[in-house]
């Protein structure tokens, strides 16, 4: 600053601006004038220096044009002209100013009304007849229609150069952004691909933007704009609304549009009449826009970021350019509204024009007023404090003759003298970036958005890697992806949403995979009919089985056959009973390797769905079987298994029911065969147990078989040879060394108890048939029920036995004897689409192994307990009712749980002992030695099971 007055005034401005950082001090109109008229030019230069200094300090400043205006305009019109260009954000500093540019929607709306009012097309439409008369009312409606047409042509915006059309388009589109986000979020609720949600949001925004810019029509959602809400709710304009109610309801767009139209015409008429109203409306709109631009309670916290108030400079306010009228209008509006706004006005006034700022006769000054200090800096502070302290009283017309919001600062001649250049001083502005500017800025938002998007993408990818059905933000957590044997993943859990286990199968669409997909579709269609037509009369049963396969051994035979039986039971029940059956599918993975995960998912879902009464399946005995049974026990769910032959489960858990003969029972029955073989071989008969090594697997079935098989061989009097365990690598058994050891040893066993899986029997036969010590010897192999899944060459299958080797194995389902007393096969030909009207027998493909029959009978037994008395039962009642189940005419005989003791083995299981040997034609032929249908407790005998 080049003068002492400039330095002191700049200090005072900075003091006031610093107070603005922490509070809302009243902002005066600071009028600078010289005590001597000869110094008026120096005051103008001082205002210019103050403007340049505030620009350097980062203040948003605007300089009103104070040059004489052409034309014959009254002072109020000239003052209004000073405000016309202040609605342009470029007039308030460049992009280097703190935060983003100002916006002036209210001031723009007022200017648009002014331009529409002054439009040449509007002149002939103003009503000429008096208001209230019929002709006057008709002319008023026509004038209002024409005014709205002109406003629509202007898009309810002031006319602007074409280079700013793009900016206006962006300003209009901003109001559609929340709706685009809402459209995208709504799309996300359907869990589509992420790009579909993005396209939905963008498409909605583009559609609204296109409709918004239809030529000749008002913009969409005009009544939701902030300037429209202000226009309708400010009390300042109530005096203009003389003829029609302008009440508004945000949720009533038609009524709101009528209110906007009525208010616009009333205001336009008032502006046409001239006077002080248009000028004060311009001032009010400017104040409201600036107040909104500095509002702290906003989404972008702009009031905390704009810590310096805007400053409007009037270089030389005079009556000729409207500056004096503008100052008077500012004071009048502030006095009338009694609301603080952030605008600080600095005006230079000629010494001879200061009297124009008086508003009436002077009142008597208050007595005992202290004299002002002698030095200018102290006087400046004293004048501001006195002005602020008397502000409320000075708004009363009788209090003083000065305008209450004007702070006059007379500058003495000595203070306006220019200093030597070496004495010029720059008033330092205390400024530090506000916390809101750092924390809530475009850069921080972009950083947060980048982090959120990155986290969202990572989360979405993690959801996609973890769950079988996942969207951008959500996932169906009832199913998970888990590693599959041999590589890849498999979908395990309970399918409650849109998950289809068949969709996650690897390989083609033929064979068991195709059958599994078809069965899933059939079960889901049946479930849909049950829930739709009988919403209050159904129970839900969960089938848990191996509905996926390993890449090394892609067999789905067990899962497909068991699911066939479950679906058949569902159709029979729903066609013939009042209480309907809904079936949910749960996949335990290949060989039920992830059955613990599946049990957790079933239990969690059962907590949400009280119609779930029990579980069918879990037909493989694994190390995790006790944990699985315990988890479902805690959830109150009984389990009815068709093929799990574990001896210990019914002894340890009260919720375990199984149709499969236990391993110990099977070994005891095979002992009848071993006894006869022992008699044939004489006293020197040797035997050994060959079992799978289960140290690195979950299999428990083979360990149980080996235990009870070894005990049986000891009991039958065989000379035991050391038991051997073979490993399985890459899905194939390593049996070569074991075959050499067995066949080349000192004692070659005549009986081998094979505690392994059906897929291992083929390699064993190949190895034994090529070893010299075994190839020419009669050897008998005894094994458990897993061999019932084999399809021997005599029945069209590929499994077989080596020459001179006889295979004896147990099976869980006696189908031949029960076939004459069951409708199972007629129901199968009627309800299974691929067997429609075909004749089905017990030894047909897909039925001979008994797994379809066992799962069917298990489902029927569980349903009977859950629908006792034709009333849907709770799961606890179902658990109790299971011990009263006795069903005749089932596929495997009579299902009878009435004699099942707690924590003990029950009797009456179906069992079959089969013999397989090679015929003279070179095929492996299976035959039944002896059997018992389900429900029979009579033990087998040596006579019945004769091998002679």
How far out from the chain centre does Cα 429 lie? 49
- What secondary structure, in 3-state letters, does 33-88 show? EECCHHHHHHHHHHHHHHHHHHHHCCCCEEECCCCCCCCCCCHHHHHHHHHHHHHC
According to the model, what pLDDT value does residue 401 have? 61
pLDDT in tens, 256-298: 788 888 888 888 988 888 888 899 999 999 999 999 999 988 8
Contact (Cβ atoms closer than 8 angstroms) between residue 678 and residue 718: yes
The structure tokens listed for 753 are 């108890």
pLDDT in tens, 64-113: 888 877 776 788 888 988 888 888 888 887 656 667 889 899 999 999 99
According to the model, what pLDDT value does residue 885 have? 93
Ranges of residues in the chain with a pLDDT under 50 are: 161-170, 241, 360-368, 397-398, 508-509
Candidates 239, 339, 351; CA nearest to 294 is: 339
Reduce the DSSP state of residue 94 to 3 states and report it: coil
According to the model, what pLDDT value does residue 231 have? 87
Radius of gyration of the chain (CA): 47
According to the model, what pLDDT value does residue 177 have? 57
- CA-based angle 906:705:594, to the nearest 5? 90
How far out from the chain centre does Cα 198 lie? 14
- DSSP conformation letters of 693-757: --TTS-B-HHHHHHHHHHHHHHHTT-EEPPPEEE-EETTEE--HHHHHHHHSSSS--SEEEEES-
The helices-and-strands tally (H runs, E runs) of the chain is: 31, 24
Q: Give the whole-angstrom CA distance, residue 636 versus residue 639.
A: 10
Consecutive H or E run containing 411: strand 406-411
Which residues, other chains included, contact 339 with Cβ-Cβ below 8 Å and sequence gap of 6+? 287, 291
Q: How many CB atoms lie within 10 A of CB 927?
A: 9
According to the model, what pLDDT value does residue 360 have? 47
- DSSP conformation letters of 824-880: HHHHHHHH-GGGTT----TTSTTTTTSHHHHHHHHHHHHHHHHTGGGSPPPHHHHHH
Largest Cα span, the chain:
144
According to the model, what pLDDT value does residue 167 have? 47
Candidates 548, 546, 536; CA nearest to 582 is: 536
- What secondary structure, in 3-state letters, does 878-909 show? HHHHHHHCEEEEECCEEEECCCCCCCCCCCCC
Q: How far is CA 854 from CA 641, 659, 660, 860, 875, in A?
A: 8, 7, 8, 10, 22
Which residues, other chains included, contact 576 with Cβ-Cβ below 8 Å and sequence gap of 6+? none
In sequence order, the β-bridge partners of residue 490 are: 482
According to the model, what pLDDT value does residue 630 have? 95
The structure tokens listed for 899 are 């004699």
Candidates 148, 54, 37, 141; CA nearest to 92 is: 54
Reduce the DSSP state of residue 692 to 3 states and report it: strand
pLDDT in tens, 749-764: 999 999 988 888 888 8
How many residues are there in the chain? 948
């Amino acid at each position: 600053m080049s003068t002492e007055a400039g330095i002191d005034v700049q200090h005072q401005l900075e003091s006031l601006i610093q107070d603005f950082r922490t509070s809302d001090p009243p902002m005066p109109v600071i009028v600078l004038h010289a005590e001597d008229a000869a110094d008026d030019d120096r005051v103008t230069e001082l205002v210019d220096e103050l403007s340049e200094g505030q620009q350097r300090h980062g203040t948003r400043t605007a300089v009103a044009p104070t040059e004489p205006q052409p034309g014959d305009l009254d002072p109020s019109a000239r003052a209004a002209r000073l405000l016309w260009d202040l609605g342009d954000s470029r007039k308030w500093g460049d992009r280097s100013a703190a935060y983003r540019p100002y916006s002036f929607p209210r001031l723009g709306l007022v200017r648009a009304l002014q331009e529409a009012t002054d439009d040449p097309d509007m002149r002939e439409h103003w009503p000429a007849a008096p208001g209230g008369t019929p002709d006057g009312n008709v002319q008023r409606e026509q004038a209002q229609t024409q005014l709205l047409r002109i406003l629509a042509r202007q898009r309810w915006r002031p006319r602007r150069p074409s280079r700013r059309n793009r900016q206006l388009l962006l300003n209009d589109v901003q109001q559609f952004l929340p709706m685009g986000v809402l459209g995208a979020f709504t799309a996300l609720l359907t869990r589509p691909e992420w790009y579909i949600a993005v396209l939905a949001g963008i498409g909605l925004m583009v559609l609204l933007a296109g409709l918004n810019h239809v030529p000749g029509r008002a913009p969409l959602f005009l009544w939701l704009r902030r300037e429209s809400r202000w226009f309708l709710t400010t009390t300042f304009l109530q005096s203009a609304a003389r003829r029609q109610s302008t009440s508004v309801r945000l949720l009533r767009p038609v009524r709101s549009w009528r209110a906007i139209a009525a208010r616009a015409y009333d205001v336009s008429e008032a502006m046409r009449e001239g006077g002080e109203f248009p000028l004060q409306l311009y001032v009010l709109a400017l104040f409201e826009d600036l107040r909104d631009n500095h509002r702290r309670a906003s989404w972008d916290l702009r009031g905390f970021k704009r810590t310096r108030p805007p400053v409007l400079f009037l270089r030389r306010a005079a009556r000729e350019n409207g500056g004096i009228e503008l100052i008077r209008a500012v004071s009048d509006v502030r006095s009338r509204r009694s609301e603080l706004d952030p605008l600080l006005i600095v005006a230079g006034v000629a010494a001879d024009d200061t009297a124009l700022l008086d508003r009436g006769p002077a009142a008597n000054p208050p007595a005992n007023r202290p004299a002002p200090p002698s030095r200018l800096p102290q006087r400046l502070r004293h004048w501001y404090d006195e002005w602020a302290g008397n502000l409320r009283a000075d708004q009363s017309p009788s209090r003083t003759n000065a305008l209450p919001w004007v702070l006059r600062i007379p500058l003495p001649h000595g203070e306006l003298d220019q200093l030597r250049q070496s004495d010029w001083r720059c008033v330092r502005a205390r400024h530090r970036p506000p916390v809101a500017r750092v924390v809530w800025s475009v850069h921080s938002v972009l950083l947060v958005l980048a982090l959120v998007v990155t986290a969202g993408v990572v989360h979405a990818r993690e959801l996609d890697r973890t769950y079988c059905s996942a969207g951008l933000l959500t996932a169906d957590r009832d199913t998970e992806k888990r590693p599959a044997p041999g590589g890849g993943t498999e979908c395990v859990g309970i399918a409650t949403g849109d998950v289809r286990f068949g969709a996650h199968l690897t390989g083609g669409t033929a064979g068991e995979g195709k059958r599994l997909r078809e069965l899933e579709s059939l079960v889901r269609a049946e479930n849909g009919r049950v829930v739709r037509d009988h919403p209050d009369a159904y129970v839900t049963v969960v089938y848990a089985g191996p509905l996926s396969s390993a890449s090394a051994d892609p067999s789905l035979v067990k899962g497909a056959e068991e699911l066939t039986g479950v679906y058949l039971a569902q159709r029979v029940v729903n066609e013939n009973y009042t209480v309907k059956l809904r079936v949910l599918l749960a996949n335990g993975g290949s060989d039920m390797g992830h059955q613990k995960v599946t049990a957790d998912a079933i239990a969690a879902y059962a907590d949400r769905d009280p119609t779930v009464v029990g579980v069918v399946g879990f037909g493989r005995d694994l190390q995790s079987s006790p944990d699985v049974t315990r988890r479902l026990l805690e959830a109150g769910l009984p389990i009815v298994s068709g093929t799990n032959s574990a001896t210990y489960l019914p002894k340890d858990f009260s919720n375990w029911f199984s149709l499969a003969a236990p391993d110990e029972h099977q070994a005891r029955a095979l002992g009848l065969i071993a006894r006869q073989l022992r008699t044939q071989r004489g006293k020197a008969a040797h035997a050994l147990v060959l079992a799978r090594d289960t140290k690195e697997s979950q299999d428990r079935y083979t360990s149980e078989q080996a235990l009870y098989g070894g005990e049986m061989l000891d009991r039958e009097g065989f000379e035991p040879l050391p038991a051997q365990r073979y490993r399985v690598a890459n899905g194939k058994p390593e049996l070569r060394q074991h075959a050499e050891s067995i066949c080349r040893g000192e004692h070659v066993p005549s009986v081998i108890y094979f505690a392994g899986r059906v897929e291992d029997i083929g390699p064993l036969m190949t190895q034994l048939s090529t070893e010299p010590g075994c190839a020419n010897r009669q050897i008998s192999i005894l094994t458990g029920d897993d061999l019932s899944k084999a399809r021997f060459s005599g029945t069209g299958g590929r499994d077989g036995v080596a020459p001179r080797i006889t295979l004896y194995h147990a099976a869980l389902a006696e189908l031949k004897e029960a076939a004459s007393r069951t409708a199972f096969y007629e129901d199968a030909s009627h309800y299974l689409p691929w067997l429609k009207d075909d004749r089905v027998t017990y030894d047909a493909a897909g039925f001979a192994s008994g797994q379809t029959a066992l799962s069917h009978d298990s489902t029927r037994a569980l349903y009977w307990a859950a629908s006792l008395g034709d009333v849907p039962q709770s799961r606890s009642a179902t658990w109790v009712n299971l011990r009263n189940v006795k069903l005749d005419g089932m596929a495997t005989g009579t299902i009878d749980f009435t004699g099942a003791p707690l924590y003990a083995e029950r009797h009456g299981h179906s069992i079959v002992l089969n013999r397989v040997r090679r015929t003279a034609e070179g095929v492996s032929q299976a035959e039944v030695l002896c059997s018992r249908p389900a429900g029979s407790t009579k033990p087998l005998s040596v006579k019945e099971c004769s091998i002679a």
